[in-house]
Amino acid sequence: MDMIKPGISVDYAGNATIMRFTDEKILEEQDIKALSESIMSVIEQAVRINLILDFDNVRFLSSAVLGLLIRVSKRIYEHDGQLGLCNINPKIYEIFKITRLTKTFDIYNSIESAKEGLSEPN
């Protein structure tokens, strides 16, 4: 597992790339920008990436992170890849529900279910 600063780790499992947010709070604009660069870099280096973003450690985020996720999803779909989000804490999930982003993103309960979901044909 590789650690990328700030606040995200990368793991590879079969045909899935798992990026795990390591910070409990994702708020600072500079951190979000750095996270964006890290994630985009991994997407660019892959061919048709199946990316799973793991929120298990995350207890708080701002709407700027939602913007980051939108940009990430657009980039992935441009590259014919797939994106899944998983392990989202109930309070954070509420934010996704309020903003109706539960309609936009594929959200799974666990990394395993995300891997299964993303292994199915587009």
Partner 1 sequence: MASKAPINCSIVVESKSSAVVDVCKEILEKLEENKFDKDDIFAVHLTFEEAFLNAVKHGNKNDPTKKVKIDYSVTPEKVEITITDEGEGFEPESVDDPRFGKGLYEPGGRGLLLMNSYMDIVKYNEQGNSVYMVRYKEKPSLREDQTQIQV
Q: How far is the CB of 115 from partner 1 (least distance, A)?
A: 26
In this structure, are residues 83 and 106 in contact, taking their beta carbons and an 8 Å threshold?
yes
Q: Of 75 and 115, which CB lies nearer to partner 1 in the complex structure?
A: 75
Question: Which region among 5-13, 41-49, 65-73, 111-119 touches partner 1 (by CB under 8 A)?
Answer: 65-73
CB 60: neighbour CB atoms within 10 A? 14
Within 27-56, the residues that bind partner 1 by CB under 8 A are 27-29
Q: How far is the CB of 51 from partner 1 (least distance, A)?
A: 17
Query: What is residue 111's three-state secondary structure?
Result: helix
In the numeric block, the tokens 């709407």 are attached to: 63
Q: Is 93 in the site for partner 1 (CB under 8 A)?
A: no
> Given candidates 1, 45, 100, 121, which one binds partner 1 under the rule CB under 8 A?
100
The 3-class SS string of 17-80 reads EEEEECCCEECCHHHHHHHHHHHHHHHHHCCCCEEEEECCCCCEECHHHHHHHHHHHHHHHHCC
Q: Is 78 in the site for partner 1 (CB under 8 A)?
A: no
**Given the rule CB under 8 A, which residues bind partner 1?**
27-29, 60, 62-64, 66-68, 70-71, 74, 91, 95, 98-101, 103-104
